[in-house]
Amino acid sequence: MRADAGRGGPVNRDGRGEEGAERVWVYEPGGAPASGTPVLLLFDGQIWLRRMGLVRALDALIASGELPPLHVAMVDSRDQGDYRAEHLGVPGGQVDLVIDGLLPVLRSRFAVSPLGADTIVSGQSYGALASLWALALADGEIGHAIALSPSLWRFDVGRALAACPRWLTARLLAGTFEGRMLVDARALAHALRGRDVAVTPVSGGHDWAWWSVRMILELVDLLSAGSDETS
């Protein structure tokens, strides 16, 4: 694993570094406190970084006070084909990378909170399923998941989530034009009844057009709720 970082936004270097290493970009907020910021772990990081304008959005929202200073680690899925399908959305692969490799590095090298309550994971499609696996398997080291259009047809992640008592919240969003995805999200929430699981239907399909917006909105809402509880 290699982490590229820069204050006020990630440094994007084209070289992949050591052979076979997974690449991660780390967003560091300008003017961050000495320690203790929340951290967002984000799958398909190369798309969020290069195509979705995430850095500009984070800079603007932090500057306006709508978001607190936070770090964002964007994990490269390399492609949208075979490698991604093999390593993303499975109970292993990049989930293990995030839990066993990335999260300890972030907490040792960057000014982020060591608390699971301040640690969020997110992604879309296979990345959303990976987010739920990470939430289930991190034993409380990750407290929250924002899962956009989770591909729940691939694996039964519900049992793993039910078996872990230490995660805090799961936010499931699915488009009304995505076939069974919304139905599957509601079924997962029902299976986890009694836990803090929210399902939000979105008027859309399997589409970055709403993923890019709703991830930010959910992040703002989640971190605002957290700050209200501690104030």
What are the tens digits of pLDDT across the range 143-198?
A: 999 999 999 999 999 999 999 999 999 999 999 999 999 999 999 999 999 999 99
CA-CA-CA-CA torsion for 100, 102, 104, 108, nearest 10 degrees? 160
Mean pLDDT throughout 33-49? 89
Range scoring the smallest mean pLDDT among 44-48, 58-62, 189-193 = 44-48
Evaluate if residue 7 carries a pLDDT over 90.
no
Distances in whole angstroms, Cα of residue 115 to Cα of each of 60, 107, 120, 129, 168 = 25, 10, 10, 22, 12
Identity of residue 158: G
Statement: residue 229 has pLDDT above 70: no
Return the higher-pLDDT residue of 20 and 10: 20
pLDDT exceeds 60 at position 12: no
- pLDDT tens profile 105-149: 999 999 999 999 999 999 999 999 999 999 999 999 999 999 999
CB 163 within 8 A of CB 187: no
- In the chain, the N- to C-terminal Cα span, in Å, equals 37
Task: Provide the CATH topology of domain 35-226.
Answer: Rossmann fold (3.40.50)
Whole-model pTM: value is 0.89
